Structure 1
Amino acid sequence: MGSPPEPLNQLCRTYIYAIHGYFLEKILGVLVGEESPFQRAGSLGSFLVYGCCGLSMEYIYLGLRNECCLLTRCILYVSCIYSWEFGAGGLLSLFGACPWDYSEYSFNLLGLVALEFFLFWFVGALLLEKLVVCNTLRLLLGEAWKAKKKPMPKFALKDD
């Protein structure tokens, strides 16, 4: 018949997590009242951060799903998000390419992270685990679908 389906590879999963992060960024822009968040393009740097952070959170999920309660995992996820945001933001800032700046918030650290977003990241991490990670890990790739070839109908004039 064919080879059995296999799970998505790491690159495909990272891409899914990057898309999820991108749309969360846009939703956050709407929630904080940013003008036209969907017209502002996300940078390649932030897309990579979202994908790598999502993959890191997947590993936390796989390692701790039977060891820790959901609340503990979500707190670890938020810690992971803040670590990635701070580290990647610092690195991108060196090149003048950091797409976010939280300097205007009261509880910010060097303008790279803001504690005011803890609840948003907590809910985002919960959704990531329950909706994105769990379902992404269940996706399987099989052989490409090919339609069965059917004979072409023959058209002929009968009784003229």
Structure 2
Amino acid sequence: MLLRFLIYGVIGWAAEIVWTAAYELVTGTRKDPLDPRVRVAMTRPERWKLAGHTYLWMFPLYGLGGLAFEPCHELIRDWWWPIRGALWTTAIFAVEYAFGRLLRAASGRCPWDYSYARWHVHGLVRLDYAPVWFTFGLLLERLHDALRGLGG
């Protein structure tokens, strides 16, 4: 279980770093260091640095989230893939929202803030990311299948 926790955590971190680097390359914007609710324009050389980022807080979220979703995957394994994808989307939104609220309550702020986005919910989730979470959830099923039997 510890090994799977570590693998989920590392893969989550890596995916987030790649996502944020690609997002900044495509949009040409980054968070304003003085106000994370605002996006500021990047120069072309800044964009091509591909400097993705993540937060230390995310490692346990990714590790525990991966482990928590394993039993759910076993329960829904035979369901039609669009239904499974919709369930993963909903579950990921719920976890992201709950963890963001928890971090905000504990520390006064959440490391991510989507307030700048049109389709955000309290700055904690972006509804326009639904296709990403749909796909990511189905990919996590493949990862879970590959990890079955590792680390008890």
What TM-score does the superposition give when structure 1 sets the normalisation length? 0.71
Q: Detail structure 1 runs of 4+ shifted over 3 Å in the superposition.
A: 34-40, 138-141
Higher percent of residues as helix:
2
CA shift, 1:39, in A, is: 5.8
AA partner of residue 116 (structure 1):
D
Aligned residue in 2 for 1:85: 96
AA partner of residue 3 (structure 2):
C
Aligned equivalents of 2:136 and 2:19: distance in 1? 10
CA shift, 1:44, in A, is: 2.9
Aligned residue in 2 for 1:108: 120
Aligned equivalents of 1:105 and 1:39: distance in 2? 19
Unaligned stretches of 5+ in structure 2?
25-29, 31-46
Conserved in 2, the CA contact under 8 Å of 1:60 and 1:73? no
How many positions carry a matched residue from both structures? 129
Unaligned stretches of 5+ in structure 1?
1-9, 142-160
Residue 11 (str. 1) matches residue 2 (str. 2): yes
Higher percent of residues as strand:
2
Conserved in 1, the CA contact under 8 Å of 2:20 and 2:52? no
Alignment of 1:69-148 (within 5 A): 69-94=80-105, 95-96=107-108, 98-130=110-142, 132-139=143-150
- Counting aligned pairs with the same residue, the percent is 30
Conserved in 2, the CA contact under 8 Å of 1:53 and 1:80? no
AA partner of residue 14 (structure 2):
F
Q: Deviations over 1:32-63 (max 9, x none)?
A: 115566463x3332111111221222111111
AA partner of residue 146 (structure 2):
N
Aligned equivalents of 1:100 and 1:140: distance in 2? 31
Distance 1:44 1:126, change over 3 A: same
Find the partner of 1:65 among 77, 84, 87: 77
AA partner of residue 60 (structure 2):
L
Aligned equivalents of 1:135 and 1:46: distance in 2? 22
CA shift, 1:27, in A, is: 2.0
What TM-score does the superposition give when structure 2 sets the normalisation length? 0.74
